[in-house]
Amino acid sequence: MVRTRRANRYCVDCSARLVYYPRLSNPKAPNEHRVLVYACPDCTDDFEKPKMFSIKRNKVEEPLETVEIEITQLKKKVITTKLS
């Protein structure tokens, strides 16, 4: 099985690392239906009812624009001397 690297998610209240809940998530669903569920162990008082975060993808009409940038840089002349 291929291991995929997930981005680290952090709590908005205490900035602790969130714990991923794979049984409540549906990571293989199409983008418009995909929901990833996380919980914060530091903000949770009762582990029967953890503080949960669900992350969905937003659908944007205009995706990110691409901009072409041309970098022009002068090359320095390198002077080499021979040592005898």
pLDDT tens for the 84 residues of the chain, in order: 555 666 678 888 888 888 888 888 888 888 778 888 888 888 888 877 888 888 787 776 776 777 777 767 666 666 667 765
Tell me what pLDDT residue 41 has.
84
Reference 36, options 7, 2, 3, 1; nearest CA is 7
Report pTM.
0.54
- Where exactly are the structural domains of the chain? 19-56
Residue 14 exposed, middle or buried by CB count within 10 Å (0-12, 13-18, 19+): exposed
